[in-house]
Structure 1
């Protein structure tokens, strides 16, 4: 949040607090594979001086679990961040309404005071008494009509005054509610951030135990596992069924996403220099003129689901049973995505990870 926005929010909160006090009345192509379970701890056992293939496979599995848990926490962080933006904006708008309502209330009070003073100057006599004291009954009757009009106007003024006071009380309650939610969201975001950093730190520590040659072997192993999954996916003949052409907006989303290839993955990032997985897909579709939810889980929940065999370039493929990863389909069995910390936006096989399902932003 920029400095100017923080200042506006702070001013809004001050107004809210003040008025609160003053205004208070007395389908998936294949069944998803098992989601990697979060690591029980972050301390990895020391590796042998020369890691065997079995050791490296254990490292790969543990890294997958750590990065998966970090991805889940990143989704929670992003969701809290989006909620905070919305709540902050709502607080500012409510504060504006409170300021305007208070000004209106002051004006109504001034008008009510003027009406009371005018009645005092006439002595507050009832119409009958003024008729008896008048030298010209016809003049009085004209005046009495104006008095009755004035009484109706006064009643209307009192009603408007009451409604304005009620509005101010409600605005204050609403603003206080948004503020409580904002504070709760901040705690959620802070918790998610700690979890992300803890899991990434554990993954980096585990990788740091490997020698250079072992790191290279690990990368080869990771690539082999992904390639085997992709080959199995393609082996079903799925590409023979996927032949839909991209929509105009889908092409624009693909063009944006592929233009980001090589940029680093950074959790919570949505460009322009770095992205996380849902940051990339949401920005790709925003660039195409179709805003979509920020997180992979909300993209899965809110966007229309499409059968895998019906997907077209630009559609989003959601991965893992908990919808913790998302990629943009580019055609020919390939995706563009931001994989995880330490990696860059890249092309990969659409079947290289367990597919949960496909969603279409412009259905």
Structure 2
């Protein structure tokens, strides 16, 4: 997809409430004429939203596939060890069978024990007989146990392989869905003249400005500047170092990122592993009230939690916006806000914190946004 074409348009238009956006339909243009700018913007927003939903579905499937692959590799190692042990047990059982076969015409060791004239010698022989019997029982027991263990591991290994194949197929379908939706975006943008693209960009910028003013005036954010935790500050510093790197769906660094790839990697570099996708981050991390936000917290967007950014402070976030854009600093209301989560709720805020200086061009470029969610 042409990054130059996509970057010519910014898809931010907040129709309705900022914290609880509704679903707006495309605004039709004059009968027989071109679609209105508002209608085009709504269509574009919807396409980008669908693309990001498909991207997060792909990311979730990819993460599950990684887990299943690791499980399958572990099972394969255990199965190889079990088969090696089983082979040893079978060799031991074979030796036992040969010994019994070769000595079957001899007088039973128990009979020899009973006929022995020397009591002490008989007692010693008895110990040997008992030990030999225990060894034979242990050999048979190991063989039986190894066979059961190998059979169980083989069943699990086959199931793990089947699950890997299923997930690989699902990943391919998710991948095709992302590409299909982005292709529709490209087709829509390619059909517009430079003048229409400029109109869309101006409408989008105006929508962002209105949404941000409304959000800040709503009192949703505290007017008191808060300090991050030590880990939150480290995560934020990592995110700021990525400014200017391109958005690529499914990417989690180091050269490119998608939205949740940036947030998960930022916190990983701060020493705390968090889920890979924005939906998993929203579902599993502790919620934090918007008026309690501190830098490093994650701001989640849209009703389906399909976009995420790191809170910078002063009503701004660091985010990887969308295909064709780059990691940047954006207004918090560039997208319809769902809520926020905090990866380290137990950690105390730093003392003597000073907001980091922003790199040159940190706010330049397009912000993403989709109407509804």
| TM-score category, normalised to shorter length | 0.7 to 0.9
Q: What CA distance in whole angstroms lies between the structure 1 residues aligned with 2:31 and 2:37? A: 10
Aligned to 1:235: 217
Comparing 207-216 and 318-327, the one that deviates more = 207-216
Q: Deviations over 1:67-97 (max 9, x none)?
A: 1001111011111111111111111111111
Q: 2:246 pairs with 264, 271, 292, which one?
A: 264
User: RMSD across aligned C-alpha pairs, in angstroms?
Assistant: 2.5
Residues 309 and 320, structure 2, Cα contact 8 Å, conserved in 1: yes
1:298 paired residue number: 280
Equivalent-residue separation in structure 1 for 2:222 and 2:267 (angstroms)? 27
Residues 289-322 of structure 1, C-alpha deviations (whole Å, 9 max, x = no match): 1111111111111111111111110010110000
Mapping of residues 1-363 of structure 1, within 5 Å: 31-34=19-22, 55-123=36-104, 125-134=107-116, 136-241=118-223, 243-363=225-345
TM-score, length basis structure 2? 0.81
Contact 1:264 1:345 in 2 (8 A): yes
Distance in 2, matches of 1:50 and 1:273, equals 43
Q: Say if 1:32 and 1:354, in contact at 8 Å, map to a contact too.
A: yes
The 3 A distance-change label for structure 1 pair 330 and 31 is closer
| Cα distance in structure 1, aligned partners of 2:30 and 2:242 | 36
Q: Displacement, 1:141?
A: 2.8
Q: CA deviation at 1:122?
A: 4.4
1:292–1:221 CA distance, 2 compared to 1 (3 A)? same
What is the alpha-carbon distance in structure 2 between the residues aligned to residue 340 and residue 252 of structure 1?
24
Distance 1:241 1:152 in 2: 79
Q: Is contact 2:239-2:262 (8 Å) kept? A: yes
Q: For 2:29 and 2:204, how far apart are their aligned partners in 1?
A: 20
Contact preservation (8 Å) 2:246, 2:326: yes
Query: For residues 286 and 77 of structure 1, do their structure 2 counterparts lie closer, same or farther at Cα, with a shift above 3 Å needed?
Result: same
Q: Deviations over 1:249-299 (max 9, x none)?
A: 111111111111111111111111111110111111111111111111111
Distance 1:282 1:49 in 2: 48
SS in 1 for 2:312: strand
Give the number of the structure whose residues are more often helix, by fraction: 1
Residue 10 of structure 1 corresponds to which residue in structure 2? Answer: none
Q: Are the aligned partners of 2:113 and 2:125 in contact in 1 as well (CA < 8 Å)?
A: no
Q: What SS does the aligned partner of 1:291 have?
A: coil
TM-score w.r.t. length of structure 1: 0.83
Superposed displacement of residue 46, structure 1: 11
Gaps of 5+ in 1: 1-28, 40-44
- State the secondary structure of the residue aligned to 2:218: coil
Q: How many residues align?
A: 327
